[in-house]
A = this chain, B = another copy of it.
Amino acid sequence: MTEDTGKWAPRGGDPENACPIAPVVDIVFSRWTTPILWALHEYGRQRFVALERRIATITPKVLTQRLRQLERDGLVVRTYHPEVPPRVEYEISELGRSLAPLFAALSEWSVHLDEVERARAAYDARP
């Protein structure tokens, strides 16, 4: 919204109905990107295998795919060291760091997770 309540968001003068935050969601919250960015933020620059071990349930192929996407979007920086054995390091870019307040808002909302749990229990326990 532009000026009324000050809450939620500026409604872009969008064509018809499309929610204006959808593009951001597509970029930042596509599958696996959250744990990857989190790991890079939490533990700093690190190698491919390190990331792979931290996330643990991700396969190398998918990790590569997502890292490529994040690199293309400018959220992650890839550094290739032409050595033997080869070494590749990933780190969060400046743009990626700008997501910090957003992730903070996310983690603040997790205080509501138990409310979600109770809502689910209530929903499941009915005719």
Chain copies in the assembled complex:
2
Question: Provided the pairs A100-B7, A112-B95, A112-B98 are in contact, do residues A21 and B107 lie with their beta carbons within 8 angstroms?
Answer: yes
Q: List 21 A-B contacts (CB under 8 A).
A: A7-B104, A8-B100, A8-B103, A10-B107, A17-B54, A19-B39, A19-B42, A20-B38, A21-B38, A21-B106, A21-B107, A22-B38, A25-B106, A27-B113, A72-B123, A73-B120, A75-B116, A95-B112, A101-B108, A102-B106, A105-B105
Instruction: Give me the interface of A with B, judged by CB distance under 8 Å.
Output: 1, 7-12, 16-25, 27-29, 34-35, 38-39, 41-42, 54-56, 71-75, 95, 98-110, 112-113, 115-116, 118-120, 122-124
